[in-house]
Structure 1
């Protein structure tokens, strides 16, 4: 298909397919870059929280085969015997090393063969087909976002490996110190006025089922932190004995930190009078001006209580974005608006993206760190599962907390104001931080 696309004269009617093909290629380049490692690093389980990297690599290809080739393209299964191995719902991550996984070379051959057939399906498909799997290229958006989400998972695995030199770094823009005061200094909070807003979406073509349907939510006014909580702010909580004071912790959170002996964010180590962190195998001082990351929901909730605030609900978080695809509007993210797509292997400093502010003034809502909210992962009114219940429906309830906004490791394709992530409240290996809120009264 690549050759056929290259031979076409420019024609706006073909732009969607060309864009999809280019995005698929970019996602695959990213997956191959994160797995361009010695075989031992690919097959090793670096943490029981994560799969071996070689499982993720073959899994993205198997997912493409299932949805694009079989479901959308009607193609006979290529490797039906491996479906069970790469079914994420049948095998917990901690058990996957014991499975008969494809080796690194075979996994690369498999996903390459699947991708060639996927491009043939893309070349032939009618994007105006009323079938919801094909309409607007939904199935391609499904596998594209899925691969980028696994790429972020691979980054989390590589961070847990503590192996140096595996991940490229980059430069971040400078921040604006939130402690600055005086004329012209931005306030640390923004006010979001009371009233209704439309939560979720009916229009974004590649939105997941849990983002739908759009519905009205009426909220009282509230104050929201302008920026995510920084390492420096969080270190003050640690220094004040926050981990040893049960007043700030929910009972289950207190039990967890006490049993695990947790006294700081994951990857932080005390070094004399200061804190150092392990970032992809390199020890460095914790930068006080970056958003804190690798904290659990329990830690975020405890900090908010200590600060005399609370975590925002996901509705409050989304309303602060103004009902747009991104806080700044509907245009795709620019480099000066959000820290996305692994431009640097860390969050940008607090205040680095004033051009990405939402309509009420909150900044860095998209990118840098996923932000914990106080909300459980629940369906919206009128929710309908599509295209399969195991993506969202089986996780609904009061087990998982919602995260919003994406991180520095999130690709722009999987970052939007309606996107809902979720995880257990004890999880810390993800690139998660938070900001606080408080009522207007």
Structure 2
């Protein structure tokens, strides 16, 4: 079984390389940040960056040292401090957190021991659920990449000059052949049983029969969303659910997060400390589910279900389930805007090689809100712990699909399911619309 695509097999060397790549990304991401900014809480909905950093190490210790080898705790007191379920984000600055240098030393010690344990393993025993296909290692790698994206969201919230990463501009956009794509009716396989590092909420694979539908060929752009605003969309009660209207009026929201109104009819945005003209051809981001749903209603359409999104992204006329919209080849720079290459979404039409049947930008650029609540698939089994997915199932969370520019390729695929509260805007999320045939 392959790690991601057909050409990369799971062995100890490839697992060690994935662990190293995730850790290098984490440390490089935070290297420019001052110690006070690592310790400070930049928003009550986010953790101090140094909490995320040490939490990554504690999670690795729990699973790659204790669960795999039975090793005793390095410091049992850290388990409570870095347990995300015991301490909600607003309370974390008051905890006796490791300082930045202490956190880095802790990560280094855990990693050194984890690599020793990995080296001593005779095999990835297929009879042991944690070790089969190196699953527990894949879970830890993806967990670290997910926290890197969370830390990027925190860095976007920094006040003052901000984070200000240097990155090349994304490739230019291009006109699309059509504005929407028809997906024919019929059954397809939702979820997966054969992606080695797929997480429990992606399983099991099961057949779902869908009616034909139309889905946007690209995510909604800043320019398109601005039309909704100019038409009075934020002030028009008709387009909002009851909960959405209560949120909008209660928080006095009238534009996406990080937008700034300048002279009449012009807008800028704040991106990691830089104020820049709003790029009208990029996918809109920092909108919550309620805003996405209101826009879709304004256009006379709706958000796609997650099953519709996955069928559009993964299902071919030949019945083959694609791991990525373009096929089973691992993501590369020509396919999608992933891996924080540009620290921003790319213009619509920038990645024709990554399209699926006329649908563009399905992976990368922005997470895409769907209409679906986060629920278990039929036959779901929590693995290896309930708190990864099961405790979040229910109507309080909406599913997002596809990954953003800040998502690492190891943590996205056509079956990957993200979820969040419908009010969340700090995440790098946008959307596309759908309609019945």
TM-score between the two structures when normalised by the length of structure 2 = 0.95
2:8 matches 1:16: no
Asked if 1:234 is matched to 2:231, the reply is no
Q: Which residue of 1 aligns with 2:339?
A: 341
Instruction: Tell me what 1:385 maps to.
Output: 382
The correspondence for 2:299, drawn from 292, 299, 307, is: 307
Residue 124 of structure 1 corresponds to which residue in structure 2? 120
Give the conservation status (yes or no) of the 8 Å contact 1:177–1:289.
no
Count the aligned residue pairs: 421
State the match for 1:9 in structure 2. Answer: none
**What pairs with 1:91-110 in structure 2 (closer than 5 Å)?**
91-110=87-106
Alpha-carbon distance in 1 for matches of 2:294, 2:41? 32
Equivalence for 1:292: 284
Distance 2:308 2:368 in 1: 12
2:80 paired residue number:
84
> What CA distance in whole angstroms lies between the structure 2 residues aligned with 1:319 and 1:14?
27
Correspondence list, 1:360-439, <5 A: 360-439=357-436
Q: Contact 2:164 / 2:274 at 8 angstroms: preserved in 1?
A: no
Mapped partners of 2:358, 2:118: distance in 1: 41
- Partner Cα separation in structure 2 for residue 129 and residue 419 of structure 1: 23
Partner residue in 1 for 2:312: 320
- Structure 1 alignment gaps of length 5 or more: 1-11, 179-185
Shift of 1:334: 1.6
* Structure 2 SS opposite 1:277: strand
**3-state secondary structure, aligned to 1:175:** coil
1:320 is paired with a residue whose SS is helix
Matched, 1:146 2:143: yes
Say whether the 8 Å CA contact 1:34–1:167 is kept in structure 2: no
Alpha-carbon shift at residue 164 of structure 1 (Å): 3.0
Whole-Å separation in 1 of the counterparts to 2:74 and 2:269:
45
What is the DSSP-based 3-state SS (H/G/I as helix, E as strand, rest coil) of the residue aligned with 1:84?
A: helix
TM-score by length of 1: 0.94
1: CA distance between counterparts of 2:431 and 2:120? Answer: 44
SS in 1 for 2:270: strand
Q: Which runs of 5+ in 2 are unaligned?
A: 1-6, 316-320
1:258 aligns with 2:254: no
1:399 alignment partner, SS class? strand
Q: CA deviation at 1:13?
A: 12
Q: Measure, in 2, the Cα distance between the counterparts of 1:234 and 1:274.
A: 13
- In structure 2, how many angstroms separate the alpha carbons of the residues matched to 1:297 and 1:405? 15
Following superposition, the deviation at residue 409 of structure 1 comes to 0.2
Change (3 A) 1:250 1:15: closer
Measure the CA separation in 1 of the matches of 2:305 and 2:8.
41
